[in-house]
Each structure stands twice: as C-alpha cells, then as structure tokens.
Amino acid sequence: MSTAILYRMPSGIPGDVTRPSQSTIEPVPLDPTAPFPAYGLFGKIANGKFVPIGAGDVATAVYGLLVRPYPTQSSQDPLGTSTPPTKGIADVLRRGYQTVKLNAGVAALDGQVYVRVAAAAAGKPIGGIEAAADGTNTIAITGATFMAGADADGNVEIAYNI
C-alpha cells in the first residue's frame, strides 16, 4: 500500500486531543435535551450538565471543548462519521491542544478563536468555530488561539488555556 501526500498532511480529526501530555481532560455528564452536533465544539455547564455554546451565550460561560473518544468509538456510526453521544458521560478538554473544524475566516498561528452565537448562516452554525470576529454574532474565547492554518478540510489545531 502506498500513500502520497502531495501538499500537506491532514491537520487531524475534529475533537481529537493532539498533545495528550499537555492536556487536562475531565468527565462530565451530557444533557440529552441539548446534544452536541459534532466533536471539537465549545460547551458550557448548565444545570450541572455539559451543553453546547448556544445563541446569546457570553465568553465567560465557556467550560471546555468536547473530546472525541479514542480509540473507542460508537458501533452505530457508519464509516467516516463520528456522532457524539446524546447522554451519559463525555470527556471535556479544560486545558490543552485539540483539532477543531474551522467554519469561517483564515486561521493563523496565534490567531484569536471565535465562536458564533448569533446570525447562523450556511456553513456558519451557532456554536461553530471561526477565525474572524463578526460583530456581536461571535464571541472571542479567552485563552484560545490557533496553532497554524487550517488544512484543505478546514481542520485546525487550537491551544486552549495554555
């Protein structure tokens, strides 16, 4: 088997912890009434449970990033997909490095990470990660910066609370 990487290796898979030795990860309960649409998204604690950042949330509400479990995964997911559980216990990155999906803007080393909290549009969902401010439609995540530019699929590594 041969694989040729002509331009750049993929940056990773959204939700993967990229530098485990520099990470702090905690288990938290999920709220089945507010499921995460994907791994690698910021969340907050609401009523003792971890839920996605939503419309109108402020930066101080951010608790951490939803971590994709590895090497374990759901046996119900089709190949090439990764659906977060809707209930039970999940892992949250409180400090460290993780791959996320960039929805808008151009990421660069030490660039500010933003999360959309209003005015959802095609390719820019509420809770999605962006590299450019969009007025009051995005919030700047304190202590979160990009570690490089995104790959061809929009995957990029961020540092959080380092």
Digit-coded pLDDT (tens) for 51-97 = 999 999 999 999 999 999 876 655 555 555 678 889 999 999 999 99
Q: Report the candidate in 58, 79, 73 with the shortest Cα–Cα distance to residue 141.
A: 58
Q: What is the pLDDT of residue 78?
A: 55
| 136 touches 118 (CB < 8 A) | yes
Tell me which residue has tokens 């520099």: 22
Q: What is the pLDDT of residue 87?
A: 92
**Model confidence, pTM:** 0.89
The pLDDT averaged over each successive group of 10 residues in the chain (162 residues) is 70 90 96 95 97 94 92 58 85 97 97 96 93 96 96 95 93
Q: Integer distance in angstroms from the first to the last C-alpha of the chain?
A: 39
